Chain A
Amino acid sequence: MLIKRPADIPSSEITDKKVYLNRRDFIRGAAGTAIAAGGIVGAARWLNAQQPAVHGKKLVTTKSPLSTSETPNTWEHITTYNNYYEFGTDKGEPAIYARAFKAPEPWTVTIEGECAKKGPMNLEDVLKGVTLEDRIYRHRCVEAWSMVIPWVGFSLGDFIKKLEPTSKAKFVEFTTLYDPRRMPGQIQPVLNWPYVEGLRLDEAMHPLSILVVGLYGEVLPNQNGAPLRLVVPWKYGFKGGKAITKIRLLEKQPVNTWQRTAPNEYGFYANVNPTVDHPRWSQAKERRLPSLFQNYKTEMFNGYGAQVASLYTGMDLRKNF
């Protein structure tokens, strides 16, 4: 039987030698360029990230009995390892992208809601008459690492009293600056900008809760939340809103950013609690940086239980995580 076979490939389908050689060159060239570019960007970022914040102006401070006697982490570690998504989601990025940050002058904090003293307030007025204290606090991140940080701040409670809250005020809400030109991380909708955090009024009035303007006795570096941030040492670090531009006194509980983002993983209270795991990891232990190991047992309320446990009597902390 005769089987007629067609010609394998019509000559019109054969790629011209010049074309395929070109194509090879192009692929080689493109691959080479991509690798070189990647290498340069990577190296530049790595070198950059190694730089800690430049030192700021010295502040006049007094010591506080509320400080821990534990050894603080170094300036370098505290200023190069930051969760501050407004300046990038990598912990090394805020040190790079916050370097050029210039806070709008004058910095205003807008006061709203259930209080007598409403309206915009210059940072200068916020700081009028306050005593700046060195508050060396343990800082426990929800990601199971911790540091000891020598903040400089003043009592949030004293500040709120000056605002003369009404009887309806039950919660306080803090809003971070929204300004994508100054905060490049906000260009991407990684979180629902601006970043919002909140406290129950009695938590905010607690002597341990502070508004922070400094670190290591100096003006607060940008990557740590300059010019004004919140620190609540018995809660996970994300509760401490940075670059605060608005404080609202509310009757109803506000929804904080992380709770809005992942309500099954982050709650409103976010008290440090070794018995309630994050859905993806255990909270029983922590790495006191720069340790490689989980070398500390996490303590209830980050070790501040004696002072704050009474705020939560009768509450199911498993539900109110």
Chain B
Amino acid sequence: MNPNQIVRWGLKPAVFLASLVPFVWLVWSVYTGNVGADPLQEITNETGIWALRFLCITLLVTPLRRLSGWNPLIRFRRMLGLFAFFYGTMHLLVFVVFDRLAGMGFPSPFALRTYRELAVSIGGEILKRPYITVGFTAWVCMLLLASTSTTGMIRRMGARRWQALHRLVYVAAVAGVVHYWWSVKADVSRPQTYALIVAALLGVRVWWLLRKRVVAPARTASA
């Protein structure tokens, strides 16, 4: 096998399966009743934290690629980003089903009214509670990125516009951290850790950008 095939048929499936482990683990824990006294909190926390972790891992791809010089890393980025969206969507669904729908007493799924009321109920919470507002913002960003993540979409949008849109991943990461920070009661040590990680991941990009700006004119001047 050449290196290209190793990535395609070896490493990518391996990373895909590894990325599913938290999900399988969670489903298995719920199924076997190993989620402690408060299963809902466990499910909510786990899906949320894994969404944030995958956002961080996705943002790590480019710096790692530049530092290591191993370019095939880029081929994992879309998949990792989609996993962030997957866990984020699970997190949102848990809120919609176990908090909102359950709060309405699980009305009939065949009545149009159910969906209208559900939308009002979800919208109300999003507007009323700032930590949900930012959390939902992060999800909407990820939704836009996920739905334009195909090669076809890149072609249709054009690389420049596509890249501009996909800078929203920075917004998603920052909003994700803020959502986490605002949702804890007193101990912000864990959100703080994620804030530092995201700050470092964005900081290194800003630093590279600035360096490029400084270096580039210097070269033309010497020409």
Contacts and interface: CB of A to CB of B under 8 A. Distances in A.
Contacts of A190: 186-187, 189
B217 interface: no
A73 B37 CA distance: 9
Interface residues of B, number: 29
Interface in A64-91: 73, 76-78, 80-81, 85, 89, 91
A23 B37 contact: no
A319 interface: no
Contacts of A23: 67-68
Given A188-B189, A190-B186, A24 B69 contact: yes
Given A80-B37, A292-B98, A85 B187 contact: yes
A194 interface: no
A276 interface: no
Nearest to A95: B36
Given A20-B69, A85-B187, A293-B98, A287 B40 contact: yes
Nearest to A5: B223
B36 A81 contact: yes
Contacts of B70: 24
Contacts of B34: 50
B102 A294 contact: yes
Q: Determine the main DSSP class of B at the interface with A.
A: helix
A76 B41 CA distance: 17
Interface in B147-195: 182-187, 189
B64 A290 contact: no
B219 interface: yes
B131 interface: yes
A281 interface: yes
Contact of B68 (A27, A281, A287): A27
Q: How large is the interface on A (under 10, 10 to 19, 20 to 34, 35 or more residues)?
A: 35 or more
A200 B34 CA distance: 41
B223 A77 contact: no
Nearest to A49: B36
A280 B183 CA distance: 8
Most chain A beta carbons < 10 A, residue from B183, B185, B223:
B185
A281 B41 CA distance: 14
B68 A289 contact: no
Interface in B184-219: 184-187, 189, 219
Nearest to B43: A292
A292 B40 contact: yes
B37 A81 contact: yes
Most chain A beta carbons < 10 A, residue from B37, B41, B187, B219:
B37
Pairs of residues from A and B, 6 with the lowest C-beta to C-beta distance, nearest first: A81-B37, A77-B37, A89-B187, A293-B102, A190-B187, A289-B37
Interface of A: 3-6, 20, 23-24, 27-28, 49-50, 73, 76-78, 80-81, 85, 89, 91-92, 143, 145, 147, 188, 190-191, 261-262, 280-281, 285, 287, 289-295
6 contacts: A6-B223, A81-B36, A91-B38, A92-B36, A262-B185, A293-B102
